[in-house]
Structure 1
Amino acid sequence: MNNTLKIEGHVAVINFDPEIEMFRGEFIGLNGGADFYAYSVEELKKEGTKSLAIFFDECSKDGVNPYKTFKGKVTTRLTPERHKALTVTAQAQGVSINELLNEGVDLVIQKHA
């Protein structure tokens, strides 16, 4: 599991890079790379703030939307057993499989918010 850090409302995934013995942060959900390095959490916050400012400034200069766009479509493969269980559960609740999956995703998002 990756560790995350929220900086100015943006989520960055934090990992340790043993080769340089530093923490590396990389913002997710952006339309390009915005990463940063530091030795401590406080430094990560400072460097992350700088990285975001530079990223947004460059996007503004280039007229680029800084955020990834999502189409709202996901394809997944389930085992036949899971597919059957999902279908039965959705039918029992009187909803579509799509609605049931969206409810599940909402629960996961709430848990990690």
Structure 2
Amino acid sequence: MNNTIQYKGYIGSVEFSEDDDFFYGKVMGIRSLISYKGENAKELLDDFHDAIDDYLETCKAEGKEPETAFKGSFNVRLSPDLHEKIFVYAVSHQMSMNKYIEDVLKNSPAAREIV
């Protein structure tokens, strides 16, 4: 079972409350709280889509740029020793550290599994 849903570039969680007998979730990766719920999968998806559409309409009406979860950058903490090794390797191969790390990630088993 997949526990995420996607719509218009936003990814939401899917949870189930046994006590309350409904599905619920929230959009992940942004600071704004966008939540949704439903008594079944269709209601959950419909409420998720409505919540995203409402968020985008509100941002437009207020002249705000909607938040996006994936801007193409994220911070990675490394040990100083590994940081140095990656830097030396990248420089010696005439590439930036970003390019080297992107190439490594693109060729990782996880990336091949996802794509």
User: TM-score, normalization: structure 2?
Assistant: 0.63
Alignment partners' CA distance in 1, 2:5 and 2:71? 26
1:60 aligns with 2:60: yes
Q: Which residue of 2 aligns with 1:103?
A: 103
Shift of residue 88, structure 1, vs aligned partner? 6.2
Alignment partners' CA distance in 2, 1:8 and 1:50? 11
- Matched position secondary structure for 2:44: helix
1:51 aligns with 2:55: no
| Residue pair 2:28, 2:69 contacting (<8 A) in 1 also | no
Q: Which residue of 2 aligns with 1:25?
A: 25
Alignment partners' CA distance in 2, 1:45 and 1:60? 23
Letter in 2 for 1:4: T
Distance 1:47 1:69, change over 3 A: closer
Q: Over aligned residues, Cα RMSD in angstroms? A: 3.6
Q: Sequence identity of aligned pairs in percent?
A: 21
Alignment partners' CA distance in 2, 1:86 and 1:101? 8
Letter in 1 for 2:86: L
User: TM-score, normalization: structure 1?
Assistant: 0.64
Letter in 2 for 1:96: S
Query: Is 80-89 or 33-42 further displaced after alignment?
Result: 80-89
1:70-109 correspondence to structure 2 within 5 Å: 74-80=74-80, 82-83=82-83, 86-87=86-87, 90=90, 94-106=94-106
Shift of residue 72, structure 1, vs aligned partner? 5.8
Distance 1:3 1:106, change over 3 A: farther
1:11 aligns with 2:11: yes
Structure 1: gaps of 5 or more residues: none
Distance 1:82 1:60, change over 3 A: same
Distance 1:22 1:3, change over 3 A: same
Alignment partners' CA distance in 2, 1:100 and 1:82? 13
